[in-house]
Structure 1
Amino acid sequence: MRRRSFVKAGAASAVLAATGLPSCKISRQVPEVTADNIPMWKGFNLLEKFDGQSNKPYRESDFKMMADWGFNFARLPMSYWTWGDVNDWSKIDEATLKHIDEAINYGQKHRVHVNLNFHRAPGYCINGGDLEPYQLFEDEEAQDATRFHWRTFAKRYQGIPNYDLSFDLLNEPPFIPEAQHNPVMLSVIEAIRDADPDRLIVVDGLAVGRDPIIGFADKNVVQSTRGYDPMRVSHHEASWIPGSDIWPEPTWPLTTDEETVDQAKLRQQLIEPWQTVVTQGVKVHVGEWGAYNQTPHEVALAWMEDLLQLWQEAGWGWALWNLRGSFGVLDSGREDVEYEDYQGHKLDRKMLELLQAYL
């Protein structure tokens, strides 16, 4: 892909995408939401488009269930492969964008905030980033493309209230210094704000979401962190984590030869480092967290409750990974749970009630 041809074709595609006025532009009175005044958002990740291997439409039933249970937040981690082309970053598939329109509609209908996240952006993904032709934090081609794709979304959804919609720019940036990360992501922020100046923007912390971005404390953005530590509890026997199959079965608190990890340790690791930006007025949200289905259920619940207590004290919202699937409350495939039949799903009632206790 030559850069000049990408820029020329990309400009034409942006105009085309911006002219398709999606039905989710509903005019109604809603509370004002800004980066320094966000609701206590709590909910789930919905994974229809996160890995680029599947491209299913979102389900209204998910939004209705979340709302019926008292949740108000849906994070949509998405791979640009579902609406774009790794070999031609100027292409935008209108059919996939209509799926996203539908999700925003469902959120508006059921009063569930929709947070759009690029799990894979042109030039970067935490999983298989080497599959990209250029690298986001190194190559201008990938930076141009990422700005173009986010600008397309900004134009398409211009005017939808922040109460209903926010943009989470990039899932879990790598272990790089702020000097390498910040100029790239600031250029993406500027591209969005050129099209939609008031759009609420969320930026994931560095080191795959674990470290606050000090240089963005004054950029009028929410910062997103993670709740997966210790990995020996959250990712026991997870096939995508090398060595997790030989970890001893976890307990909570977790005791290893090196240390004991308990709630106090989690406060030290997951809460205290973020006070640097919190004291400057930055709002923090936990974009992902949860325990894989090979962690014993009672261990997972005890660990989850300690995290929920910490986030309640800190005033942070959160989104479990996921609603349906191996980390979720529905169809998680755990062997040590007595599931309840619920609207065609297998419901982990204990986990659901634990989450509801912290709404």
Structure 2
Amino acid sequence: MNRKSFLRNAAILSLAAGVKGTAAFVKPGQGFNENKPAPDGANAAANKLPAWKGFNLTDFNTPRPALNRKYTSEEQLQWIADWGFNFVRLPIAYPYYLSFNKNRDIRPDEVFEFSNKRLDSIDNLVYLAHKHNLHVSLNMHRAPGYCVNAGFHEPYNLWKDKEAQDAFYFHWSMWAKRYKNVSGAKLSFDLLNEPSMRDDMNDQLSTSGPVPGALYHQVAKAALKVIHEQNSSRIVIADGNSMGNTPIPELADLPLAQSCRGYFPHAISHYKAPWANKEPEKLPVPVYPGKTGQQYFDKAAIEAYYKPWIELMNKGVGIHCGECGAWNKTPHSVVLTWFKDVLDVLAANKIGFSLWEFSGDFGILNSRRTDVAYEEWHGQQLDRQLLSLLQQYK
């Protein structure tokens, strides 16, 4: 299936193929943030988003993909569906689908040079996911002027430069036009991965604070406008502030859902991760439930972390957990015990989740953990215990 065929048949396919778990969708045009408090005693019923459950597919999330990079196969999408999941999130780095010379830093004028070949490859994965009844959330993981990750020199700053903001809107306008005929039951847009006020995109450990609410509102509103000009019922999601950790009440007047994270506490989820810790080898081995470092973590602490998200949900804002999981250095027994409590809290409030990632260091396949008895699965190394835990909540 090539790009033209996929886009030509998108409207037909969206009607012909149902998506599991979409009954909770609001009607087209109704929006997700009605800004109405839930009735007394109501909580979980307030979520306006379906409790999608699935995985992040990291095919396109790096600006300069390696030549030997392994991409998600149709067989793997079939596994996801067969295992009972209904959702995939596609984090995309915008330089991936540009045609500039990737051996040097990008220039501002090159941000608009789209590569049809690279766009076709994204179309193909979207098409194959839809073929297997998986809802796709298209996420701008690296946008013009911002990314939570280092490793690529941006020509400007999304939060400070109008030129960067205009490029951001241009890219979303392109995606909105490209998929304007694809049903909202099959495709949603996730505006920007884990926003924060980073100044140094080349320093992975640079400090960053929250984006000022008024500024986030300005950028989100303008992006939403270009998207809804093409399809007024497109579901659009905004990631939480401070790298996905805190809800954004300033956006509650916009028809936007919001995306939280399942990484609390980082002492467990990102144990020894070099991009998240200055001295990873000196960190105490995490304990759960129990005290790690100077803090005690248990299910009550997790419930407290999600309380602001649930309060926002009960005011009419759809909530989904766009990323969750733990890196492969966290003891597996700790991961399973801790993650069960995270999933319990999300499930109790009808909040869906998307594991980072399907295959890789955080995933159920090929995570390279040293304390897992892997099951050989069609040439892949399957963490059956983690998969079984996730399947309890599908």
Identify whether the pair has TM-score above 0.5, normalized to the shorter chain.
yes
Q: Report if aligned partners of 2:92, 2:138 keep a CA contact under 8 Å in 1.
A: yes
The answer to which of 299-308 and 127-136 deviates more is 127-136
2:64 is the alignment partner of 1:53:
yes
Structure 1 position 145 matched with structure 2 position 167: yes
**Does residue 363 of structure 2 align to residue 328 of structure 1?**
yes
Distance 1:325 1:129, change over 3 A: closer
Rounded Cα–Cα distance in structure 2 between residues aligned with 1:106 and 1:19: 13
| Cα shift at 1:21 | 3.8
Pick the aligned partner of 1:38 from 49, 63, 71: 49
**Cα displacement string for residues 84-105 of structure 1 (whole angstroms, at most 9, x for unaligned residues):** 2432112111111111111221
Deviations 1:150-173 (Å, cap 9, x if unpaired)?
Answer: 100100100101111000000001
Task: Tell me which residue corresponds to 2:300.
Answer: 264
2:279 maps to a residue whose letter is G
2:280 maps to what in 1? Answer: 244
Q: CA deviation at 1:24?
A: 4.0
Are 2:74 and 1:74 equivalent residues in the alignment?
Answer: no
Give the C-alpha shift of residue 114 in structure 1. Answer: 0.6
Q: Is 1:123–1:142's contact at 8 Å kept on the other side of the alignment?
A: yes
SS in 1 for 2:181: coil
Greater CA drift, 101-110 or 297-306: 101-110
Unaligned runs of 5+ in 2: 33-47, 101-105, 197-209
| SS of 1:307 mapped into structure 2 | helix
SS in 1 for 2:15: coil
Rate the CA distance shift 1:253–1:145 in 2: closer, same or farther, 3 A.
same
- Give the whole-Å Cα distance in 1 for the aligned partners of 2:73 and 2:237: 24
Aligned twin of 2:42: none
Distance 1:108 1:119 in 2: 21
Of 194, 218, 221, which aligns to 2:256? Answer: 221
* Structure 1 residue 251 displacement after superposition: 1.2
Residue 304 of structure 1 and its aligned partner are, at CA, apart by: 0.5
Q: Secondary structure at the match of 1:89?
A: helix
Q: Secondary structure at the match of 1:149?
A: helix
Q: What is aligned with 2:121?
A: 99
Amino acid at match of 1:312: A
- Counterparts of 2:292 and 2:356 in 1: how far apart (Å)? 26
Partner of 2:232: 197
Q: Which has the higher contact order (CA 8 A, sep 6+)?
A: 2
Shift of 1:232: 1.1
Q: Distance in 1 between matches of 2:299 and 2:252?
A: 27
Q: CA deviation at 1:18?
A: 10
Amino acid at match of 1:194: E
What is the SS of the residue equivalent to 2:370?
coil
Deviation at 1:22, TM superposition (A): 5.3
Partner of 1:288: 323
Q: Any gaps of 5 or more consecutive residues in structure 1? A: 1-16
Shift of 1:219: 1.3
- Which structure: greater helix fraction? 1
In 1, the alpha carbon distance for the partners of 2:251 and 2:216 equals 11
The aligned residue for residue 346 of structure 1 is 381
Pair 283,70 (structure 1): closer, same or farther in 2 beyond 3 Å: same
| Matching of residue 184 in structure 1 with residue 219 in structure 2 | yes
The code of the aligned residue for 1:81 comes to P
Deviation of 1:256 after TM superposition, in Å, equals 3.5
Distance 2:7 2:260 in 1: 33
**Structure 1 contact 107–164 (Cα < 8 Å) conserved:** no
Is the partner of 1:131 in helix, strand or coil? coil
Please, what TM-score do these two structures have when normalized by structure 1?
0.90
Q: Could you state the TM-score of these two structures normalised by the residue count of structure 2?
A: 0.82
Structure 2 residue identity aligned to 1:49: F
